[in-house]
Structure 1
Amino acid sequence: MKYAELLGQARDAITVRRVFGDPYESDGAVVIPAASVGGGGGGGGGTGDGADGRGEGEGLAFGMGAEPVGAFVLRDGKLTWHPALDVNAIIATVGKVLIAGIVAFAVTRRGKRRD
């Protein structure tokens, strides 16, 4: 794949249609889903001698990710924002806090036994 082709695909991939989904109706309201979209890329090139004495080289990569963040809801002429709930992030955060608390408790209890 050539550089121009990949850059064209990257440009097409990062559009407002990736951030905001198609509106749809639900229970008399219009719902517009939204996502956080990010991406990045890099490229290379080359000339000169390779290990076998030939000059060559080329390289290009692109990556993209998205996750839902919520939805706008239009009901009775009023627009409201409803954030998405990331249960996995909540569980991971609570788990880290619990582990830190257990470690802190164990360390302080251990120090008191020595006195």
Structure 2
Amino acid sequence: MEDATRRDILETLTERLGKRQVFGEPVQQGDTTLLPVASVRSGGGRHGHRDDDGVGIGVDARAVGAFSVSADGKVAWHPAVNVNKIVWGGQLALATVLVAFAIAFRRKR
């Protein structure tokens, strides 16, 4: 891969993963300012030989919460609630109970 192409890729990554990736734009709500916070992970790799190079780049971002700053200077953390994880955990617990009941009733016969 040419050095110019590598530089272009790095510049693009720097631009996309630069400012405002972890802390979002502040939002004013009355006398309170909200500062959204995200968890951002990125990675990349390269494989191949002389004429057959490949480059892969991945980015994972998820909201983790927000800081609220009131007019009197009080700061509070408000975690984001991931409803999908809660539902998935409930489904997993239900499946575990059902399997346990199936095993228990099967042995009694």
- Take 1:12 and 1:66, find their aligned partners in 2: how far apart are those partners? 16
- Take 1:59 and 1:8, find their aligned partners in 2: how far apart are those partners? 18
Residue of structure 2 in register with 1:104 after alignment = 100
For structure 1, the residue ranges without an aligned partner over 5 or more in a row are 48-55
1:71 to 66, 73, 80: 66
Residue of structure 1 in register with 2:52 after alignment = 57
Per-residue deviation at 1:7?
A: 1.6
**Moved runs in structure 1, 4+ residues, more than 6 A?**
none
Matched, 1:22 2:25: yes
Give the TM-score normalised by the residue count of structure 2.
0.87
- Take 2:77 and 2:35, find their aligned partners in 1: how far apart are those partners? 10
Give the TM-score normalised by the residue count of structure 1.
0.83
Q: What is the percentage of aligned positions where both structures have the same residue?
A: 37
After superposition, what is the alpha-carbon deviation per residue over 1:18-43, rounded to whole angstroms, capped at 9, x for unaligned? 11001111131000000111111001
Q: Which amino acid aligns with 1:63?
A: G
Give the greater-gyration-radius structure (CA).
Answer: 1
The count of corresponding residues between Structure 1 and Structure 2 is 105
- Take 2:69 and 2:102, find their aligned partners in 1: how far apart are those partners? 51
After superposition, what is the alpha-carbon deviation per residue over 1:47-82, rounded to whole angstroms, capped at 9, x for unaligned? 3xxxxxxxx222212111211110000012111100
Q: Which has the higher strand share?
A: 2
1:32 to 35, 48, 52: 35
Matched, 1:87 2:83: yes
Matched, 1:46 2:49: yes
The alignment partner of 2:97 has SS state of helix
Q: Which amino acid aligns with 1:79?
A: V
The alignment partner of 1:59 has SS state of strand
Q: How much is the aligned-residue C-alpha RMSD, in angstroms?
A: 1.6
